[in-house]
Chains A and B, each alone.
Chain A
Amino acid sequence: MSIDIAMALSSAKPAGKRPYFMDPSVERVLNILMATVQELAVTRERLDTVERLLEIKGIVPRSEIEGFEPTGDQAAERGLWMQEYLNRVLRTLQQEAEALQTPGDLASEEVALEVSKADA
């Protein structure tokens, strides 16, 4: 089936060794980021289509979307969403900060030895 072929081969590597211009691990993150940036543009274009169709069909004028002012409750819900979102996205910073507070942290590999001792 074509969809299986597409899943397997659409991201295939071209023949020829790939050049890296930066530390490959940095360039890897850049490549993932740029693909994400592209998908954000894709979503933005779709949302723009939705807004324009809503306006053309006389359902919601775009000026109403642009001028929308949330009520206090709505703003609070949005604020909570934003906080949750940032917590999720910046997870790694929170965990780094917690690690700073936990100098005696053990690696699981260390504990593995400990809990596997016969007399543990």
Chain B
Amino acid sequence: MDGSPDLKNAGPAQTYAGPPDYRVVGRHGVFPETTHDEIARFNFLAHMNRHLSTRVMPSVKTAWERRAGPAFEAREGRPAKDRHEVRKALLHDPYYQAWSALRRATMEQRQQAGRWIALRQAETLAARVEALTAAGDRLELDPALPIPRYVSAVDHHCMPGSYHTEVFPGDVSGAANYDCGIFATTGGALGRFSDGGGHAVVGWVRKHQPEFRPARILDIGANLGQNVLPIAQAFAEAEVVALDVGAPMLRYGAARARSLGVENVRFVQGDGSDLSRWPDGHFDWVQTTMTLHELSLTSMKAIFREIHRVLAPGGIVLHVEQPQYGPDMPLFEQAMRDWDAFYNNEPFWSTMHELDIDGFMIEAGFDRANLIHGGVTAVVDRDVFPDAADDDGEDYGRKAAWHVIGAHR
């Protein structure tokens, strides 16, 4: 502050805590081009998300404690017994309605903004991806792979077309939309390349498994590979497989990796519930990052069994997810975390977060004594980005702070 009365335009800026300008986003060879207006649209959305989470959402709790909760107890003669009752009671509260309607609108606006960017240059992007992936063995597609019901039934996080559809053969606009918009959705909390989760996993492994030298790594539900590239770069001697069911994500991801100079990742189209192309004990490390909540119960169990089979003795599996709902988590918080499950098309989110993951890992063959539990936050360039480790706020399922659940084989 320079004492100028011209607060609006005086520089330097007043104390600022908020998302960085979109223009610091990490760009690579297949990242879509963006105009001034398109960037401004993303800037608006990053701020809108922040406003909703810091200025609007806290009062949803007040509305529950002072209005919706007492109304429920007056009506039923008892407190709510689970998170579903809390959420259904909140649906009648005008403040929850307003917050929810705005949050849903913001999600849809984010998709619209990103899809406009990606679709208006879809043919150019497809050509660039083709040029970067035509040669070599870094991309292996399987057009006959059935798309699981848990992917095709509803479009996850309201992303039209989800991970697997294309507008024309070779189209990657869905992946480009995902890639360019996640920075706006998260307000930069995942870093320039939205890979803060991958860096966090690397940091965790370096700290807790300093002697670990994996030769073969498998990332299941790799998406466009944003979280596996930091792993591949940190363990440059390893051969890494990024597995996903969505061909457009894999094509885009392979081109993205090549343009970023990461050569030790092969993008393979496949379903984690059937890893039969790899023999027993093939991998030293199997990773999933924010993947489990997008599966189904059957597929998750099958994936756990396959992971146990393909892991070498001494190998590790790590699942990175939002924290599980436990008896210590207030029902209100559980209900708020469930919002994305029901109103942002994340249908397995709710069930997955109440499951005994440890129990399923043991059922899949791991020893209870070998289970791993930890916590990580996104690792980002702190000069530019807010760091989730320094953030006392709560965004009920969207904060870049996760749990690690895993096991040694």
Contact = CB atoms under 8 A, between A and B. Distances in A.
Interface string A3-15: 1011001111111
Contacts of A30: 101-102, 105
A18 B343 CA distance: 8
Interface in A26-45: 27, 30-31, 34-35, 37-38, 41-42, 45
Contact of A9 (B40, B48, B100, B115): B115
Interface in B150-206: 152-155, 158-162, 167-168, 173
B392 interface: no
A2 interface: yes
Contacts of B159: 14
Contacts of A13: 160
Contacts of A3: 120
Given A10-B115, A16-B153, A16-B154, A46 B36 contact: yes
Interface string B325-344: 00000000000000000110
A20 B77 CA distance: 28
A6 B116 contact: yes
Contacts of A2: 119-124
Interface string B378-407: 000000000000000000000000000000
A25 B159 CA distance: 23
A63 to B, nearest CB: 7
A62 B9 contact: yes
Nearest to A63: B6
Contacts, number: 112
A19 interface: yes
Contact of B155 (A9, A10, A11, A15): A15
Interface residues of A, number: 33
B174 to A, nearest CB: 11
A49 B120 contact: no
Interface string B15-54: 0000000000000000000001101110111001000000
Interface stretch (B106-114, B128-136, B227-235, B246-254): B106-114
Prevailing SS type, chain A contact patch: helix
Contact of B104 (A5, A12, A19, A62): A19
A23 to B, nearest CB: 10
Interface string A41-70: 110011001000000000000110010000
Contact of A6 (B8, B91, B119, B162): B119
Contacts of A86: none
A14 to B, nearest CB: 4
Contacts of B299: none
A27 B343 CA distance: 14
Contacts of B167: 5, 9
Given A6-B116, A12-B115, A21-B91, A45 B43 contact: yes
Nearest to A11: B112
A5 B121 CA distance: 9
A22 interface: yes
**Interface bin, chain B:** 35 or more
A14 B154 contact: yes
B324 interface: no
Given A10-B119, A12-B161, A38-B45, A46 B6 contact: no
Nearest to A37: B44
Contacts of A20: 101
Residue of A5, A21, A34, A46 with highest tally of chain B CB at under 10 A: A21
Contacts of B104: 18-19, 21
B43 A31 contact: no
Given A2-B120, A42-B37, A66 B6 contact: yes
Contact of A46 (B37, B45, B158): B37
Contacts of A15: 152-155, 160, 162, 345
Contacts of B370: none
B215 to A, nearest CB: 40
Contacts of B123: 1-2
Closest 9 CB pairs of A and B: A16-B154, A14-B155, A6-B119, A45-B40, A6-B120, A10-B116, A12-B160, A41-B44, A42-B40
Interface of A: 1-3, 5-6, 9-16, 18-22, 27, 30-31, 34-35, 37-38, 41-42, 45-46, 49, 62-63, 66
6 contacts: A15-B153, A18-B104, A19-B104, A34-B106, A35-B109, A63-B6
Given A2-B123, A19-B100, A41-B43, 10 more contacts: A1-B123, A3-B120, A6-B115, A11-B115, A16-B154, A27-B101, A31-B108, A35-B109, A41-B44, A66-B8
